[in-house]
Every structure is written in C-alpha cells, then in structure tokens.
Amino acid sequence: MIARRLARWLIVALLSISAVLPAHASPRHIDTGFLNRRVTVNGMVYKYQVYLPENWNEHGLWPVILFLHGSGERGSEGMDETQIGLPQAIRLHPDRWPFVVVMPQVPFSHRRWTDPDIMQMALAALDQDTKEFHGDRDRTYLTGLSLGGYGVYELARYNPHRFAAIVPVSGGVFWSYKPDRWHESATLPGEYARAIGRTPVWIFHGADDNVVAAKQAALMFDALKAAGGNVRFWEYAGWRHNAWDKAYANPELPRWLLAHRLSSIPKTVPAAEEVIVPLHPVPAKINPEIYEEYVGDYEDAGTIQSTIYRQGDRLFTKNRVGDSIELLPESATTFFYPTGSPTRLTFEKDSEGEVKGIRFRDDRHEEFWERKR
C-alpha cells in the first residue's frame, strides 16, 4: 500500500515539474514569414515588420537585408512597407530570398529616411533583429526604393563599414526638399562616393523617371566610378519611376548580394558597369503569314482566355474582358507585349503540326490555354 502511494506521489510530482520547466527545456517554436515587430528609440515606439524565410532556424548565421520603403508606405501601423518592392518580390518568389529582411517604417510625422532619428531607428531595428534571429553581420545588405533610395545613400555614407553591398532603386542624393543641393552637383556625389568607398553598389533607375530624375543615378554612378568604387548601373529604357518591380524581380540580384561579404570589401577591385536595359527585345523578323495558324479562341476550363486575331501584318490578342494588345514576335512561336511586361505567349503544336494551344508564362507562373475547336 505504502509503495503504491509513493509511486503515485512520484508520478504526480514528475508531471508537476514538467509543467513548470523553463521554455528552453523544449524546442522553441518560431513563426516564419512576415512578423510584427516593435523597436523603442529615444522613448518612441516604432512598429515595423521582419521577414523570416520558411526554413529559418537557430542554427548558423543568416544573411540580412535592411529594406527602406518609399513615400507612399509611410505610416504608424508598421505594415504598409510590405506592400511593394522587395517584400512583394519575396511573396512572388520566396525561394529566391533566403534572407532575414528587416522592414522599418517612417512615420508621417518625420516624412523621410534622411532624418537622423529615423536613420537611428532603422539601425536599431536592424540590430535588434540581427541579434534575435541570428543575423550574419558579414552578410548584411541595404536596399531601398524612391524615398528609401535616398535613405540608402545616406545610411551608407554615415555607416561605411556596416553593409556588404547596397542597392539604391529610383533614388539619389539631391533631395526634393532641399533644391539648393543641385548647386553642389559638381562636388556632392563625390562626397558620398568617397564615404561609400569600395562597398559594392548596384543602382537601378528608370530612364524616363518623372519623379526622381535619372540624372541623379547617372551622377552617382560617375562619382562612384571616379572614386574607384565597385558599381553597376542598370537603366531601364522607356521606364518611369517604378524601377523596383523590374529590379527586385531580377533573379540575379539576390545571388549578387550573397556573393559579397563585409570582410571582403578591402579586397574588392574597382569596377564599373553601365547597362541600358531595353523596354523589350528587338522583335524578330518573321513571315507574318504564319499568323494565320494562330488565329482563334483559346480557353482554360471552358473560359476563353484569349482570342488571337490578325490585322494585316500584325498579331493581336483580346483577353476575356475585351481588351486588345498587340503581340510582338520574339521567335516564330513565342510572342511578348510591347509594354515591357515579362509575359510570354508560346504557341504549341501537336505531333501532326497543328496548333493545340498557348503556353502563357509570366514572372509568377504558367498556364496552358487549349485551342477551341
């Protein structure tokens, strides 16, 4: 009897002890994806977001990106900054971005990233998440778009030994709220370039940007080149302010970032690359008579997705809501839109040489539309 009571007491005691064991006694569950965060700086609480890739774990160090949003994403809710630019690219292709991404937000009361207290807040958020989520200080990168592109140059200038590479998109150093800065166009870019040194820089800008003149990007490229920097400048021909959709959709960009380490900057060699990216490929020269093979309706699950028709030597597609757009040939079977979209339409044939459907591809996915008989 006594033995049974003692055994029962031991079981209860062990269960009670397991119920109050500290959290580190069992594996800690960490949510991934976009997470709500807060950081306190000088008594002010700022809400923001951090992204953890799905396979994040506590083992090893993770590359980190500090992302600075544009003027349209300012606020105090800490979420709007995840809507465009890099966060959107991550949602479309999370496999391309194995980074911890820190996304602070500028409050309306401050308006810009170049305010000293806002730069302090951004770095505090970066420090906080680098520590908590095992960030690699040797692989910490900086990027931003528009208003955030200005912030990139400013943070890089005053923190020259912090980032392994920087990517300003649609930004510059001639602030719209200080127009007198343009009087210093002969000297100001050089000041930034000398501070940035050989930190690798990849600049993206639209050639027809009507918000931040492409001249700002060109001046910074020239200054970085003259200072012996390591810089790439991709200018999108026929493109306006929104260069970020193209920049962050470029699968080479995350690979380029990961190729650079802070510890390698002293050994980085001077290099300068300037590329004008055409709006779309040069149309192929093909016999327009082949267009007759493609004319018809193409459907998916019984719904017509595209009606292909010909007008003289030109081929068009009309979508399911009645909008028409010309198709330009990349080859005899693959066509693209003249808008600069990454979308491709490829006509596929069966074993007898008859057109059986259209393979539709964009940056996100692909579909097959069967030809209606």
Of 277, 309, 328, which residue is a domain's last?
Answer: 277
For the chain, what's the residue count?
373
343 within a domain of the structure (yes/no): yes
Determine, yes or no, domain membership for 166. Answer: yes
The neighbour count for residue 350, using CB atoms within 10 Å, is 10
| Buried-exposed string 73-99: b where 16+ CB fall within 10 A, e elsewhere | bbeeebbbbbebbbbebbeeeeebbeb
* Rounded-to-integer distance, Cα 49 and Cα 35, Å: 5
CATH number at residue 331: 2.40.128.50
6 falls within a domain: no
Residue 40 lies in a domain: yes
The CA distance from 158 to 143, in Å, is 15
- Please state, in angstroms and rounded to a whole number, the distance separating the CA atoms of residues 217 and 153: 11
* Cβ-based neighbour number of residue 271 at 10 Å: 13
| 282, part of any domain | no
Q: Which domain holds residue 260?
A: 28-277
Final residue belonging to a domain, choices 256, 277, 298: 277
Specify whether 42 is located in the same domain as 110. Answer: yes
159-160-164-170 Cα dihedral, nearest 10 degrees: 80
Q: Are residues 221 and 179 in the same domain?
A: yes
In this structure, which amino acid lies at residue 337?
Y
Q: Residue 331 has what DSSP assignment? A: S
The structural domain count of the chain equals 2
Q: Give me the tens of pLDDT residue by residue for the chain, a chain 373 residues long.
A: 444 554 454 444 444 444 444 444 445 667 899 999 999 999 999 999 999 999 999 999 999 999 999 999 999 999 999 999 999 999 999 999 999 999 999 998 888 999 999 999 999 999 999 999 999 999 999 999 999 999 999 999 999 999 999 999 999 999 999 999 999 999 999 999 999 999 999 999 999 999 999 999 999 999 999 999 999 999 999 999 999 999 999 999 999 999 999 999 999 999 999 999 999 999 999 999 999 999 999 999 999 999 999 999 999 999 999 999 999 999 999 999 998 889 999 999 999 999 999 999 998 889 999 999 8
Fill in the amino acid letter for 191. E
Residues 222 and 315 in one domain: no
pTM: predicted TM-score of the whole model, two decimal places: 0.86
| Same domain? 235 vs 319 | no
Q: Which of 243, 277, 311 corresponds to the end of one domain?
A: 277
Query: Do residue 270 and residue 292 come from a single domain?
Result: no
The per-residue b/e assignment along 103-133, b for 16 or more CB within 10 angstroms, e otherwise, is bbbbeeeeebbbeeebbebbbbbbebbbeeb
CATH number at residue 249: 3.40.50.1820
Count Cβ atoms below 10 Å from residue 355 Cβ, excluding itself.
Answer: 17
